[in-house]
Each structure stands twice: as structure tokens, then as C-alpha cells.
């Protein structure tokens, strides 16, 4: 429940608040002030994150014959390091890495996470378990709301705002969504307000232009919904949550790149490089 209050602020502070309003992440003065206070007081916080880093990266062969997909360099450091730095920026420093293929390279580079200012633990898949199967392995570590993300996508998301959005809706899962001009190439979310009703894989006719960006905020209760053995969140978990009305969609404006193919990897290198050159 919210209460209306009156505030008297220095004009210069109010001007800085107004500069943050962008009609998407921060929609108004009151929304901006609420988010800033939440961050300062640390009243809403995610403590844990699970990054899926066990894929073989078959579409990036022969490069991935010798290096894990998440260790491919971008801007001079492993792709996975960008995600860890984003989590740390949002005060999420207890990180689980689900590893499998060429896992020793990942463990050797990141270790326990101390040189990156975080704590890293590992979930090791002896055989492929799918995106939901490895989540089930992490059950004992995840006792409160947590972030889960694919390790092969560069993304910039305001996780403080996404978490606030998630809590206000009171569901069990929130999926970060991006817009696309080519929905026929993605699994598309069909929405009713902020609620995800269902997903349509590579639709031939237009149903929406929002697709999953591979980053989720989830409640630990969802782990009990996952079947034993190999399972995927996309097919074995999220449809169940959508049917129950407990799955929300959070569109965000930050940058997003998929590392899945050489063409997409090249695009990320060029566009991020050009932005750095402008800076």
C-alpha cells in the first residue's frame, strides 16, 4: 500500500531527479524518487543470481571446440565477465554458475569470484540437464527471489526497477522482454497488460513484437514445478506459470546482444566498439 506525502527538495536535486525521467524505467517524479530511495535504503534487494554457462555453442564452431561460449572475448574480456559486472553494479554479489562443457576454463578464470568483488559458486552438470534441470540442482542455494539469466547474451537491465516491478505484481516469475522488428525469428510473448498469457514460437502472423531476453526474476517456489531429469524453463516451466496467471513480462530499453552466431557476435563487436569510440 502506498501513501501520498509532500516533499520539499532543493531545486538542484529536483532538476537531477527530472533528468532521470524517461517515461519507461522512470515514469514520473514520484516513481524516480521511490526508486532512488529504495536503492539508498536497500529495502528491496535480490541476493542471488544463477547464470547458465554450460552450453556447447555449436553454432560458433570451430571457435568453441577449444573455448567455452561464455569465455569468448568482447571488448577485451570474457563475455561472461560483462554479466557478472552488471550483477555487481546492482549489488548482487552471490552468484551461481551452472557449468558443464569445458567447465575447467571457466572455473580457472573466475575462481571464487574474489578478484571480481563477488562470491562465485558452481553447479556442475555431469550431463546436459536443460535450462530448468540445472535450476533444480541449485535449489538448496536459492531461498529467496533470485535472478536467472542465459550466459550467452549481453544485456543491460535496471535490475532494481525490474525487481520492484516483479514484487508489485506478486507473481512467481518475471521475464525481461525486448522488442524486435522480426518477430518471426523469435519465441514471442502474447501479453494481456503486464501478464504473459502464452508464447508463440516464430509466429507466421503478427501476435506481438516482444521476445524473451533471457533474463528472469523468479521465486524459489517455482523449482518444485520442474520435472525430474532434462527440462527447459521455456517449455516445461513458463507455460505452467502463464496458465496460472503468475508470469509477468518486463519490457526494457537497455542494449541486448545474442552471442549465438558469428553474425550476431560480429554485430555486437561492431556496435559496442562504435559506441566506445564515440565516448
Tens-place pLDDT, residues 50-90: 999 888 878 878 877 888 889 988 888 898 999 999 999 99
Instruction: Pull the grid cell for residue 215.
Output: 533474463
Looking at residue 208, which CATH number applies to its domain? 3.90.550.10
Asked if residue 111 belongs to a domain, the reply is yes
pLDDT-derived band at 241, boundaries 50, 70, 90: very high
Asked if residue 193 belongs to a domain, the reply is yes
Asked if residue 32 belongs to a domain, the reply is no
Domain count, the chain: 1
Q: Which of the pair, 134 or 42, is modelled with greater confidence?
A: 134
Q: Which of the pair, 167 or 275, is modelled with greater confidence?
A: 167
Asked if residue 129 belongs to a domain, the reply is yes
Asked if residue 11 belongs to a domain, the reply is no
Please name the residues in contact with 107: beta carbons below 8 A apart, sequence gap of 6 or more.
99, 122
Question: Among residues of the chain, what percentage have pLDDT more than 70?
Answer: 82
Largest Cα–Cα separation, the chain: 62
Q: Which of the pair, 30 or 251, is modelled with greater confidence?
A: 251
Asked if residue 175 belongs to a domain, the reply is yes
Asked if residue 2 belongs to a domain, the reply is no
Integer Cα distance of 237 and 247 in angstroms? 10
What is the pTM (predicted TM-score) of this model?
Answer: 0.79
**Which conformational region is residue 254 in: left (phi greater than 0), alpha (psi within -120 to 50 degrees), or beta?**
beta
- Does pLDDT of 112 surpass 50? yes
> What does the mean pLDDT of the chain come to?
83
Asked if residue 15 belongs to a domain, the reply is no
The boundaries of the domain holding residue 187 are: 44-278
Amino acid at each position: 500500500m502506498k501513501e501520498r506525502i509532500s516533499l520539499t527538495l532543493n531545486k538542484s536535486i529536483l532538476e537531477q531527479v527530472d533528468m532521470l525521467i524517461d517515461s519507461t524505467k522512470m515514469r514520473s517524479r514520484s516513481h524516480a524518487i521511490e526508486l532512488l530511495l529504495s536503492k539508498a535504503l536497500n529495502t528491496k534487494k535480490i541476493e542471488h543470481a544463477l547464470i547458465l554457462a554450460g552450453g556447447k555453442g555449436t553454432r560458433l564452431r570451430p571457435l568453441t571446440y577449444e573455448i567455452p561460449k561464455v569465455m569468448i572475448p568482447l571488448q577485451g574480456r570474457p563475455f561472461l565477465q560483462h554479466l557478472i559486472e552488471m550483477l555487481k553494479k546492482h549489488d548482487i554479489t552471490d552468484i551461481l554458475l551452472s557449468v558443464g562443457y569445458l567447465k575447467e576454463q571457466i572455473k580457472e578464470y573466475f575462481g571464487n569470484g574474489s578478484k571480481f568483488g563477488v562470491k562465485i559458486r558452481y553447479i556442475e552438470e555431469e550431463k546436459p540437464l536443460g535450462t530448468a534441470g540445472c535450476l533444480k540442482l541449485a535449489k538448496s542455494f536459492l531461498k529467496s527471489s533470485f535472478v536467472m539469466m542465459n550466459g550467452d547474451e549481453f544485456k543491460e537491465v535496471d535490475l532494481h526497477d525490474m525487481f520492484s516491478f516483479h514484487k508489485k505484481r506478486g507473481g512467481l516469475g518475471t521475464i525481461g522482454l525486448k522488442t524486435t522488428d522480426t518477430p518471426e525469428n523469435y519465441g514471442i510473448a502474447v501479453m494481456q497488460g503486464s501478464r504473459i498469457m502464452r508464447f508463440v514460437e516464430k509466429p507466421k502472423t503478427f501476435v506481438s513484437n516482444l521476445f524473451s531476453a533471457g533474463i528472469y526474476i523468479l521465486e524459489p517456489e517455482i523449482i518444485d514445478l520442474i520435472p525430474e531429469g532434462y527440462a527447459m524453463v521455456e517449455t516445461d516451466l513458463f507455460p505452467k506459470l502463464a496458465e496460472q496467471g503468475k508470469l509477468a513480462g518486463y519490457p526494457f530499453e537497455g542494449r541486448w546482444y545474442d552471442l549465438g552466431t558469428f553474425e550476431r557476435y560480429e554485430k555486437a563487436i561492431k556496435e559496442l566498439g562504435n559506441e566506445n569510440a564515440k565516448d
